[in-house]
Amino acid sequence: MTSGTSGLGVQRDAVHQDLALDHVLAPALGAGEDHGRAGRLANPQLKPNPGAVQQRDVVATNMAQDGFWKRIWGDYHSRQVVFEVKNYEELEPDDFRQLLSYMTGEYGEFGIIVSRAKIEIPTERERAWIRTMWAEHRRIVMIVPALVLARCVSKLRSARRYDYTEDTLNKRMDQLIRSYLSIPQAKRFRKRKRKK
């Protein structure tokens, strides 16, 4: 269910995006902080191009020299990483099409949709859209539920689990590539024996 276009819905979306940037995305992704690691994003910005036809929710500069974000830069040429923040659980086809329209030039071939999904793995319908985006457009869409990012933030408080976000994003990317991009096998039907 989408938040709609009512004034209250727009306000809720804006609050969700602000919270996502300030309290979840930036700390979880290490944006703007060095912490002695080179594998981070820099300069996260909410609504970086107001008034433009293509209005991205959050964009951060990929300056990584190692780790997950270096992988994204090397494999998918995403210098400016786009995050689309959705204030609802189940993503619609238009959400994928919207992100696709943003992934050009400096934005590369990779984007993230942050949703309010209560489960950590994409639905079968979302997986079908992920496959379509790759098969037809050579674009990677990673869906990251806000609950996963919130858990990443909570782990940042522990020095022992400092690499939790890095590990989580790498595992999600591996699962996306290994499982979601492959074409599902059709169900096999057993032949029935004919009665004589």
- pLDDT on residue 51: 82
Q: Is residue 46 part of a domain?
A: yes
| 53-103 confidence digits (pLDDT tens) | 888 889 999 988 888 999 999 999 999 999 999 989 999 999 999 999 999
Q: Is residue 193 part of a domain?
A: no
CATH number for position 165: 3.40.1350
- What pTM was estimated for this model as a whole? 0.78
Q: Which domain holds residue 143?
A: 7-180
Q: Is residue 165 part of a domain?
A: yes
Number of structural domains (the chain) is 1
Q: Which residue has the higher pLDDT, 20 or 50?
A: 50
Q: Is residue 186 part of a domain?
A: no
Q: Which residue has the higher pLDDT, 39 or 12?
A: 39
3-state secondary structure 23-74: HHHHHHHCCCCCCCCCCCEEEEEECCCCCCCCCCCEEEEECCCCHHHHHHHH
Q: Is residue 192 part of a domain?
A: no
